[in-house]
Structure 1
Amino acid sequence: MTDLEKTITLKRGIGLAVCMLIGTGILALPGLALSVGNVHEAILGWLLITFVTIPRIQICSRLGLKFPSIAGLAGYAEKAVGPWGRYSVSYLVSGSYLFGLPAIAFIGSEYARQFFNLSELGGTFCAILLVSLMFISNLFGIRAITLVNYLALTALFLLIGLIIVFNFDFFSSGLRIAGETLSGNGNVAPNIVWNVTALLFWAYLGWENLSFSLGEIKDPERNVPRLYWISFVLVAAVYVLLALISVGASSTGFSLKGAAGLSSLVLFIPGGNFLMWLILVVLAANACSWNFTASRLIYAAGRTGVFPAVFGKLSKRNVPLPSLGALYALSVSIITGCYFFKIPITAMMMLVNQNFIFLCGFVIIAYWKTETGWQKWGFSVLSLLSLSFLASGFTWKIIYPVFLIGLGYFRFIANREETLSPGAVNSHPRQGLVLLEDQEFSRPAEK
């Protein structure tokens, strides 16, 4: 097996990182934060989540420098706890996609409801239509999805830029609110601030996923740390700037609440109605990209014995049809269930965030076991404190990631015992291995 060529320069790496971090979540989170809390609690949540992300940047930077491999998170998990860590990470990430895909579909349907003035039932049908488009488009394979994804990212950054430029008048109001909040004069409830901050963790998902590409970075000793820190500053600046504008606009009487809250700011832009159509296209394309990545992760796990072997099969067109079919059926079922049981988008996003908090736990353990000096204790403790804060309010809901971790562990034990049993025929000869072609399938999509 040959190594991948080191073709990613610092500039390309920063572009990749920024695209990976700033995705369609930015279209939903400002409005959702204002739905959960008031303007003071929303801006404090944005500032807190940005601050507590800093230790994670250092940890991911150091691990990426030491272990620049396409194994990425799975490799870190194995460093942390051993081979079973790969299994648990696969189940955690798959469990995240299980609710993340419907959440993105509902975000798209919320914008459709705003644009077409649809009922709640109409919005639910739009969400099902969106996951149906995800399924159909993925039947055409990687080339179509890659092209659509790059076009969608270009449109997304154009949208963000226009929203900031044409609504910059609200920036001063946002700064005033931030000043009131930090000086203690804001109306702040600690439990609401936790809810906002834990929800906004979605905005900073992706630093760990950047690890999948570090094996291709030129001059890694010099560029990996710079890649993480420069991209973090750029991403944080975009998020905080948009957060200040959104709370500033909200304080002056504009209603920005809900997953489609930014639609009010879009209407201030010349050609706002066209841009609303563009938002729908961006959300649909990004959902297709998430679905592509999820199906390939499940396919790779099926090939290596982490998941049942049926998910490791390809159709005649070289498409992982069983994985795509399972994702489609589960997404439609969850969307339907959310409609009947009135489950909000924020609940699904929080489940995804909760899973990634536990994924970060594997990353921190790997860092602590491989780092030396004061950094080992300093950044590990800071990261654990921040993750403990984020996880503290989930209470009984942590049953879900704990169950997924346990399921991965017991799947590993069962496969190992089957392999080691006398006379057993190993149905997964590559069990426990994550090979190059499998990992290429499981690279993460932009949010």
Structure 2
Amino acid sequence: MHDTTDGARSRRFGLPTAIALVMGNIIGGGIFLLPASVAPFGTVSLLAFGVLTIGAIALALVFGRLAERDPRTGGPYVYAREAFGDFAGFLSAWSYWTMTWVSNAALAVAGVGYFHVLTGGSSSKGEDLVVALAALWLPALSNLAGTRWVGAIQLVSTVLKFAPLLFVAVVGLFYFDPANLGGFTAGGGSWLGGLSASAAILLYSYVGVESAAMSAGEVRDPERNVGRASVLGTVGAALVYLLGTLSVFGSVPHDRLVTSTAPFSDAVNSWFGGQWGGTLIAAAAVVSIMGALNGWTLMSAQAPYAAAKDGLFPAMFARKRRGVPTAGVLAAAVLASLLTVVNYTVGAAGVFEILVLITTFSATVPYLLAAAAQVYFLLTGQREKVRTGRMARDMVLALAAFGFSFWLVAGAGYEAIYQGVLFLFAGILVYVWMAARRPAGEAGRRAGTEPAAAAPADARQETAPAAASVTQ
């Protein structure tokens, strides 16, 4: 009962905070290297950005549609379990959980390099490890303080990192020189090949569109705000990506850009001279990474929380304190810390890179299952789950979202898919263990066929009218 009352009091994410959560999770540290990463393929990479943006918006709209009828915490996990049963739900939750804590470790390690730019020097591996661990545990502590703190930090960090990126995106247009652009297909070959190659790098720029749906139980009026936050957050991130990349393309000569290690800094320095641009961008990168870690730490707790309420994860993951699943936050922080320690002390960079590759595949499994769930609801004519009059439009969106997610899987590469599938299947042992511990008659029960009276009290609380949460 503690989870019910505490969860009701903690639903404090309004629309602006939900938008900040989506944007903050989408925009991590990768944006600061993206222009240099895709420059070798030419300006066709800008077209790839546009195509990916359309797919990401379609996925965001599908999450909004799904959240309208089932605004519980867990998002993709909830939809997959309701449509396809416990096992599909578990795979969605396990895959998403894996992606969050492994990518958190990667973000923390990436932040160390930007931190050195701010401090003006290098340090030993031991000092780097301390900085990386601090980057993991400070967001964890803010999450343990409650959703009010998570929302406040996410809102502030999103504004702080969005402002300099928007500055580069807008000011760069006044310094834009077409002579700096490379060819449409600078890498040679067909434009379609360049489009696919650059898209493979850009594909994961939009991981995070599901953030509002994943935390729907903590969003005020989730039936309306989850969809709005998903779309507006995705569009906001897309504008920063597209305009920022275009400005850098037009500010830094192509031959320099392809070898640049700090393209945004090089762009600012080319406009105003000096080296202060590097410090400015490094500060923005640190804020961006810390904001992303703050949001992703919350995400790392939401999927196991939703699964634990249904008996698919250990029960400790279902306990909340101040609206935050504390066990999920602590487990993610500990696992990410262990990976970080391995990276710095053992020096097993290859192992760490393999685990990071796994995240690229793991992120797409929940997307595919959620889009497939929407297609399933539409094809089976479950009108109570689909708003009347939207059949054709929702089917087009669901198929576009499924195609986009499938493209994400294909773009991950053979090694990532191979390693990711192995890691995904390793979770089957956890599912078997949890299924064996459940009372007879409950194991294997599909979410869609459970009697309404059997729904957990906290699940019913999460779907209570939004007005109740607004007035608290």
Tell me, yes or no, if structure 1 residue 73 matches structure 2 residue 76. yes
Cα distance change of structure 1 residues 210 and 123 upon mapping to structure 2, 3 Å threshold = same
The answer to whether structure 1 residue 280 and structure 2 residue 286 are counterparts is yes
Instruction: Please name the residue that 2:116 is paired with.
Output: 113
**Is residue 46 of structure 1 aligned with residue 49 of structure 2?**
yes
Match of 1:415?
A: 434
Work out the CA distance in 1 between the residues paired with 2:216 and 2:95.
Answer: 20
Provide the identity percentage: 17
**In structure 2, C-alpha distance between the alignment counterparts of 1:98 and 1:374, rounded to whole Å:** 38
Aligned to 2:134: 129
* Aligned counterparts of 2:223 and 2:90: Cα–Cα separation in 1: 32
Cα deviation for residue 265 of structure 1 reads 4.0
Give the deviation of 1:108 after TM superposition: 1.4
Q: 1:388 to 1:70 in 2, by over 3 A?
A: closer
Q: TM-score, normalised by structure 2?
A: 0.71
* Residues 347, 52 of structure 1: alpha-carbon distance in 2 compared, 3 angstrom cutoff: farther
1:294 aligns with 2:296: no
**For each residue in 1:102-155, what CA deviation from the matched residue of structure 2 results, as whole angstroms up to 9, or x when unmatched?**
121123112123332326846555323322434455554444444333221221
**Closer, same or farther: CA 437–403 of 1 in aligned 2, 3 Å:** farther
Quote the Cα distance in structure 1 between the aligned partners of 2:351 and 2:100. Answer: 17
State the alpha-carbon separation in 1 of the partners of residues 15 and 69 from structure 2. 17
* 1:127 partner letter: A
| 1:19 Cα offset (Å) | 4.7
- State the one-letter code of the partner of 1:241: L
Please name the residue that 2:155 is paired with: 150
The 5-angstrom pairing of residues 363-442 of structure 1 reads 363-371=370-378, 374-375=392-393, 378-393=396-411, 394-403=413-422, 405-406=424-425, 411-421=430-440, 435-436=458-459
| Conservation of the 8 A alpha-carbon contact between 2:180 and 2:249 | no
Aligned equivalent of 1:239: 241
Letter in 1 for 2:407: F
Tell me what 1:202 maps to: 204
Q: Which runs of 5+ in 2 are unaligned?
A: 380-390, 444-452, 464-472
SS in 2 for 1:167: helix
User: In the TM superposition, what is the alpha-carbon distance from 1:337 to its structure 2 partner?
Assistant: 3.4
CA distance in 1, matches of 2:338, 2:377: 42
CA distance in 2, matches of 1:346, 1:367: 34
What is the RMSD of the two structures over their aligned residues, measured on CA atoms? 4.6
Shift in alpha-carbon separation, 1:306–1:20, aligned structure 2, 3 A: same
User: Does the CA-based 8 Å contact 1:27-1:259 persist in structure 2?
Assistant: no
Question: CA 1:246 to 1:185, structure 2 compared with 1: closer, same or farther past 3 Å?
Answer: closer
Shift of 1:344: 10
Give me the TM-score of the superposition, normalised by structure 1.
0.74
Query: For 2:223 and 2:64, how far apart are their aligned partners in 1?
Result: 14
**Residue 327 (str. 1) matches residue 346 (str. 2):** no
